C-alpha cells in the first residue's frame, strides 16, 4: 500500500517506473511530507494544518503562514498524488492524516536514511511528546 501511494509522488524524469522513494517533485513537497510525519496527532491520527506548519517552518528555516503551505496539504489529498493524506472536516477546519498509517514512519526512516534528517532531530521526534518545537538550528540541516 505504501509503495502504491508513493508511485504518484515520485519523479524519475524519464517516465519510467522507479523503486518507491520520496523523490518528490520539489524540495518544498519533501519538506511538507517530513513535517506531516513529525506532527503530533490526535487518537485517530489526525493533525491540524497549524501543527504541520510549525514543523514546515522549522524545516524551511523561516516562518510560513497557512497560505504558504496549505495547498501542499490539499495536493497530497488528491488522486494525482495518490491520496497520501486523508482530509476530514469543513473548509478552514480541516484535519489531515496519512491515508496509510505506515507512511508516517516510512517518511521519517527513509529521509533519515537519505541524510535529509539528522539523528538529533529524529530522536527529538521519536522520543518526545512533541509539545514543543525545535528552535535550535543545530537540529536542522
Q: Residue 119 phi/psi, 5° resolution?
A: -65, -30
Reported as a pLDDT band with limits 50, 70 and 90, residue 125 is: low
Cell of 56: 514546515
**Domain for residue 15, yes or no?**
no
Number of domains in the chain: 1
Q: What is the mean pLDDT of residues 117-138?
A: 59
Q: Is residue 50 part of a domain?
A: yes
Domain that holds residue 65: 2-9+22-139
- pLDDT > 90: percent of the chain: 23
Confidence of residue 90 (pLDDT cuts 50, 70, 90): very high
Per-residue DSSP letters for 100-133?
STTHHHHHHHHHHHTTSS-HHHHHHHHHS---S-
**Per the domain annotation, does 17 fall within a domain?**
no
List pLDDT tens digits, range 29-71.
Answer: 888 899 999 998 998 999 999 999 998 888 888 898 988 889 8
What is the pLDDT confidence band of residue 127, given thresholds at 50, 70 and 90? low
Residue 35 lies in a domain: yes
pTM of the model: 0.69
Residues 6+ apart with CB under 8 A from 57: 63, 64
Spatial separation of the C-alpha atoms in residues 15 and 12, rounded to whole Å: 6
Note whether residue 16 is domain-resident: no
Give the cell for residue 133.
518545537
Neighbour count for residue 16 (Cβ, 10 Å):
6
Backbone dihedral angles phi then psi of residue 114, each to the nearest 5 degrees: -85, 0
Residue 20 has pLDDT above 50, yes or no: no
Looking at the domain assignment, is residue 67 inside a domain?
yes
Q: Do 36 and 53 meet the contact criterion of CB atoms below 8 Å apart?
A: no
Amino acid at each position: 500500500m505504501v509503495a502504491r501511494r508513493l508511485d504518484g509522488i515520485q519523479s524519475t524524469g524519464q517516465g519510467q517506473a522507479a523503486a518507491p522513494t520520496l523523490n518528490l517533485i520539489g524540495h518544498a513537497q519533501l519538506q511538507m511530507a517530513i513535517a506531516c510525519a513529525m506532527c503530533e496527532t490526535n487518537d485517530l491520527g489526525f493533525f491540524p494544518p497549524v501543527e504541520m506548519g510549525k514543523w514546515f517552518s522549522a524545516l524551511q528555516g523561516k516562518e510560513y503562514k497557512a497560505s504558504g503551505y496549505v495547498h501542499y496539504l490539499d495536493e497530497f489529498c488528491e488522486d494525482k498524488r495518490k491520496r497520501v493524506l486523508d482530509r476530514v472536516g469543513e473548509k478552514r477546519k480541516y484535519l489531515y492524516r496519512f491515508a496509510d498509517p505506515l507512511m508516517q514512519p516510512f517518511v521519517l526512516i527513509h529521509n533519515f536514511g537519505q541524510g535529509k534528517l539528522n539523528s538529533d532531530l529524529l530522536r527529538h521526534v521519536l522520543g518526545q511528546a512533541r509539545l514543543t518545537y525545535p528552535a535550535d538550528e543545530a537540529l536542522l540541516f
